[in-house]
């Protein structure tokens, strides 16, 4: 369900928060069965990939062209003139191969065949099983220039560890500057080597740790599942001893989405021209999606708010006509209007 970017102009995809970069490494043994004398060659290929909701959003606005290659999908960011030239070349090659027959249109599964908006909708709804309400929510937020990324169970934890690592790096940098300033000789104004200054080995270890965290985030984003609607069914069993106890109700609450992470569809960031996919920071808010006509269980909302751990939660309610209404959810209660 991912589209590989084969041609792109500028940095609109990367800087806009679209897609994810993924590296594939293939190892081949040159020669007969692998042994101590075998020659191993490793090939590394890196591509940018887009999810179907990103492809459809850009395609509907005329910013992207999508092609089908055999049974797979290839995405290219080309101008209409480039597409026309590529199509004419393919037709000409077909005509030269069989000069008796006149040039014909390409077969629907031939390389280079462009996909229409209807084809992408059919792929999204019937093959990738992504519900229309999910795409409507994505399109609603993206059209307001928000940066919208798929939510995963590990993403927030990885981002939090990245933030802690960068904060410790800044603190260590400030301490190193103070140590150097304190070791300046008053007579010769020379820097003296500090015993506590980190050596090259520790610096290399820090760089590898940072690279490991970034790779973990990149792989987690690449493996993100299609977002789902939040389950509105919740069977809560309460007893007389715990009546009104929200925490006890949440423990007894069981629904289709027992894992609350599945109920959260997107991580959303405010518009930011300096956004980096490798260092995104904590989301500005999280989004769950529900049908407008179906009520949402109060206990489930309470559990989701606690799960968000301080990150604002918004509910996207989708009407039957496709209208998206956003509601902010909090557990602050109703403020008192008493003067005391």
- pLDDT the model gives residue 104: 37
Encoded tokens for 204? 């290399």
Q: What is the arithmetic mean of pLDDT over 124-144? A: 95
- pLDDT the model gives residue 246: 43
Q: How far apart are CA 157 and CA 226, in angstroms?
A: 20
- pLDDT the model gives residue 206: 63
Encoded tokens for 133? 């309400």
What sign has the CA pseudo-torsion 186, 192, 195, 198? Answer: positive
pLDDT at 207 over 80: no
Confidence band, pLDDT 50/70/90 cuts, at residue 184? low
Closest alpha carbon to 326 in 146, 151, 87, 203: 146
Q: What is the arithmetic mean of pLDDT over 300-313? A: 88
pLDDT at 323 over 70: yes
Q: What is the arithmetic mean of pLDDT over 12-38? A: 65
- pLDDT the model gives residue 58: 93
- pLDDT the model gives residue 319: 93
Q: How far apart are CA 81 and CA 83, in angstroms?
A: 5
Please give the residue that has the higher pLDDT: either 200 or 262: 262
pLDDT at 295 over 80: no
pLDDT at 59 over 60: yes
- pLDDT the model gives residue 311: 93
Please give the residue that has the higher pLDDT: either 181 or 129: 129
Which percentage of the chain shows pLDDT scores above 90?
34
Q: How far apart are CA 54 and CA 174, in angstroms?
A: 41
Q: How many CB atoms lie within 10 A of CB 284?
A: 16
- pLDDT the model gives residue 39: 58
Encoded tokens for 233? 């069914």
Record the pTM: 0.70
Closest alpha carbon to 291 in 318, 322, 324: 318
Q: What is the arithmetic mean of pLDDT over 296-325? A: 89
Could you report the per-residue pLDDT of 209-268, keeping only the tens digit for each?
888 999 999 999 999 999 999 875 544 443 344 444 444 444 444 443 346 878 899 999
Could you report the per-residue pLDDT of 105-133, keeping only the tens digit for each?
344 445 458 899 999 999 999 999 999 99
Please give the residue that has the higher pLDDT: either 10 or 107: 10
Q: How far apart are CA 51 and CA 223, in angstroms?
A: 11
Q: What is the arithmetic mean of pLDDT over 143-158? A: 94
Confidence band, pLDDT 50/70/90 cuts, at residue 51? very high
Please give the residue that has the higher pLDDT: either 17 or 62: 62
SS (H, E, C) the chain: CEEEECCCCCCHHHHCCCCEEEEEEEEEEECCCCCCCCEEEEEEEEEEEEEHHHHHHHHHCCCCEEEEECCEEEEECCCHHHHHHHHHHHHHHHHHHCCCCCCCCCCCCCCCEECCHHHHHHHHHHHCCCCHHHHHHHHHHHCCCCEEEECCCCHHHHHHHHHHHHHHHHHHHHHHHHHHHHCECCCCCCECCCCCCCCHHHHHHHHHHHHHHHHHHHHHHHCCCCCCCCCCCCECCCCCCCCCCHHHHHHHCECCCCCHHHHCCEEEECCCCCCCCCCCCCCCEEEEEEECCCCCCHHHHHHHHHHHCCCCEEEEEECCCCCEEEEEECCCCCCCCCCC
């Amino acid at each position: 369900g991912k589209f590989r970017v084969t041609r792109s102009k500028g940095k609109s995809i990367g800087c806009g928060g679209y897609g994810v970069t993924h590296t594939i490494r293939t190892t081949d043994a040159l020669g007969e069965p692998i042994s101590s004398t075998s020659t191993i060659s490793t090939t590394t290929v890196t591509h940018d990939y887009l999810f179907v909701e990103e492809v459809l959003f850009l395609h509907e606005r005329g910013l992207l062209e999508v092609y089908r290659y055999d049974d797979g999908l290839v995405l290219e960011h080309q101008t209409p003139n480039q597409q026309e030239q590529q199509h004419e070349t393919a037709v000409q090659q077909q005509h030269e191969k069989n000069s008796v027959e006149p040039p014909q249109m390409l077969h629907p599964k031939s390389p280079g065949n462009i996909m229409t908006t209807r084809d992408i909708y059919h792929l999204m709804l019937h093959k990738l099983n992504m519900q229309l309400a999910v795409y409507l929510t994505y399109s609603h937020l993206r059209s307001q220039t928000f940066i919208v990324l798929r939510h995963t169970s590990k993403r927030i934890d990885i981002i939090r560890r990245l933030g802690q690592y960068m904060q410790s790096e800044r603190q260590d940098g400030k301490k190193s500057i103070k140590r150097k300033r304190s070791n300046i000789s008053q007579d010769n104004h020379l820097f003296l080597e500090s015993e506590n200054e980190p050596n090259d080995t520790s610096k290399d270890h820090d760089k590898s740790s940072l690279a490991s965290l970034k790779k973990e985030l990149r792989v987690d984003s690449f493996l993100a599942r299609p977002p789902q609607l939040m389950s509105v069914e919740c069977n809560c069993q309460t007893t007389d001893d715990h009546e009104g106890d929200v925490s006890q109700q949440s423990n007894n609450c069981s629904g289709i989405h027992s894992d609350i992470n599945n109920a959260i569809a997107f991580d959303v960031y405010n518009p930011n021209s300096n956004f980096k996919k490798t260092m995104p920071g904590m989301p500005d808010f999280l989004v769950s999606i529900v049908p407008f006509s179906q009520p949402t269980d109060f206990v489930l909302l309470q559990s989701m708010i606690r799960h968000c751990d301080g990150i604002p939660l918004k509910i996207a309610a989708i009407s039957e006509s496709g209208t998206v209404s956003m509601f902010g959810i909090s557990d602050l209660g109703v403020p008192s209007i008493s003067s005391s």
